[in-house]
Chain A
Amino acid sequence: GAGVSQTPSNKVTEKGKYVELRCDPISGHTALYWYRQSLGQGPEFLIYFQGTGAADDSGLPNDRFFAVRPEGSVSTLKIQRTERGDSAVYLCASSLRRGPSNEQFFGPGTRLTVL
């Protein structure tokens, strides 16, 4: 079956520009997560959705970052006024239901480069 997909796979932008990163979770998965993975580091939590609502956005680094999931399926991570420090791989994951023991299925990521 189809896994988690993310588009684009690569995004190069200039400092100060706005970008959107898209995540298509596995069909039927109610929980959706965004992580950011910098070079040489493990993934760091950004935000978690249960259905349409952001249940935990404590990992968003500042107010330039925002994410939505309007219909409880596809999610978009939005970054305003990008900075060079935002360069990283952005990972999306989904799980069948909420709860810390549930496996998270990861997409291949979007590599964002801010010049």
Chain B
Amino acid sequence: AQSVTQLGSHVSVSEGALVLLRCNYSSSVPPYLFWYVQYPNQGLQLLLKYTSAATLVKGINGFEAEFKKSETSFHLTKPSAHMSDAAEYFCAVSASTGNQFYFGTGTSLTVIP
């Protein structure tokens, strides 16, 4: 079975500060991992994905994530937060044996000017 845990339902950072959103996964088979962002009244948009190539994955809008098998983690980072980064962020896992995504409960990011 696959699952995702996102620590911290709400994260606040100052504009220009480091963004760190945590995601830990559980999977009995090699996982594929995704980060999605959801702006108010919009659909989920893919930020980046890990599909067993490079462990450090770069995505859109300056975000990146590192797959750490030993820690079963896939934390999302951005060196310098921008006001436009304020949104809900979801980590998701899928398994090589299936097609559906399993989502975490989400982290709401607030950027303080």
- Which A residues are within 8 Å of any B CB, using their own CB? 3-4, 31, 33, 35, 40-45, 48, 50, 55-56, 59, 91, 93, 98-101, 103-109
Contact = CB atoms under 8 A, between A and B. Distances in A.
Given A40-B106, A42-B106, A109-B43, 19 more contacts: A3-B43, A31-B99, A33-B99, A43-B44, A43-B90, A44-B103, A45-B100, A45-B101, A45-B102, A50-B99, A56-B98, A56-B100, A59-B100, A91-B43, A91-B44, A99-B99, A101-B49, A101-B51, A106-B45
A103 B105 contact: no
B99 A98 contact: yes
B98 A42 contact: no
A99 B90 CA distance: 20
Contacts, number: 68
B96 interface: yes
Contact of B103 (A3, A42, A56, A109): A42
24 contacts: A33-B99, A35-B103, A40-B9, A40-B106, A41-B105, A41-B106, A42-B4, A43-B90, A43-B103, A48-B99, A48-B100, A50-B99, A56-B100, A59-B100, A91-B44, A98-B99, A100-B32, A100-B95, A100-B97, A101-B49, A104-B101, A105-B46, A106-B36, A106-B44
